[in-house]
Chain A
Amino acid sequence: MKKFLKFGEEDWVLIHDVTLREYFFLKEGRVLEALPFLIEKWSEKEPISLTTVGKLKTAVVSKILSESTFKVRKFLDLDMKQFSLALKNFFDRRLTQLKGTLLEEWENELLLVQLSLNDLGSINALPERGSLLDQPAHFIFFLLAARQAIAEILEDQKKRGGGPWLK
């Protein structure tokens, strides 16, 4: 998801959610190296590069970081035990309503994950252009959790003697 940040009356920056590549940079504290990937457009005339990014005000950078890491931090804060149980119930068609469950806030990602994975849980397509490193970090984490849930469902079916497919 793209975000448009405004500073004062004239200055603005267009950023996107942290991708896997930028997440790896930020995890090690390499902020300056992540910034040229993170910023898509800005109101300055100079091109976006490693040297020009260094001239930014510190307040602008801290705002950019807190806005773009919003979703990953939210995902990593989840209770994974309950979340994977909810995912398992959803893919098993035992969950009829998203309202009131943990999945309520992740409706968009849930739709994308169903389009990305096939019935056996392997990846068919990815939402953003580019490679795996260019996908939003929170989406990749979501994808892995969904794959795990599907694998567990298929395993249960095998134990019961049914075929490996989703209902």
Chain B
Amino acid sequence: MSLFASEETVKIYFDDQGNLVETETSNWFEVRKELSQELYDIFRNEMAPKGKMRYVGANPVIEIESTEAPGFPYGFLAKVIKNWSESVPVTIANLKKVSKKILEQLWEKLLEMYELNKSNMLLEEFKEEENEEIS
């Protein structure tokens, strides 16, 4: 055990039609098993609406500056994917060439794996917990 997130990786397989499958095939992505705080910050910056956080009383609220929807997080994927079955390296430019069907399925699988399917991610860190005070 350690305080740090583990560097272990998992392989995610796709068949020739571009469907996500459990069995081993020749098309695969090798991704991180666990998210560290640094990667989580990158995810938050890419996916969260652009805005600032401030306090109203004790409650943190987000002031949204622009209403543009965030784009597909290629930067986050390029950090999380360690290796893949293609011969070219994993970069943002190369990731944009992958088919839409595969990327969308991969993205949903990753959200499920890292438990990022929450409505308010920014406020998640400040959620109330009933702890006894340790001093």
Contacts and interface: CB of A to CB of B under 8 A. Distances in A.
Given A4-B134, A56-B5, A76 B55 contact: yes
A7 B134 CA distance: 14
The B interface is mostly helix, strand or loop, or mixed, namely: loop
Contacts of B57: 76-77
B38 A66 contact: no
Interface in A23-82: 27-29, 31-32, 35, 42-44, 53-58, 60-63, 65-67, 69-70, 72-77
A66 B128 contact: yes
A124 B15 CA distance: 73
A3 interface: yes
A16 B39 CA distance: 25
A73 B129 CA distance: 12
Interface of B: 1-5, 34-38, 40-41, 52-55, 57-58, 122, 124-129, 131, 133-135
Interface of A: 1-5, 7-11, 13, 27-29, 31-32, 35, 42-44, 53-58, 60-63, 65-67, 69-70, 72-77
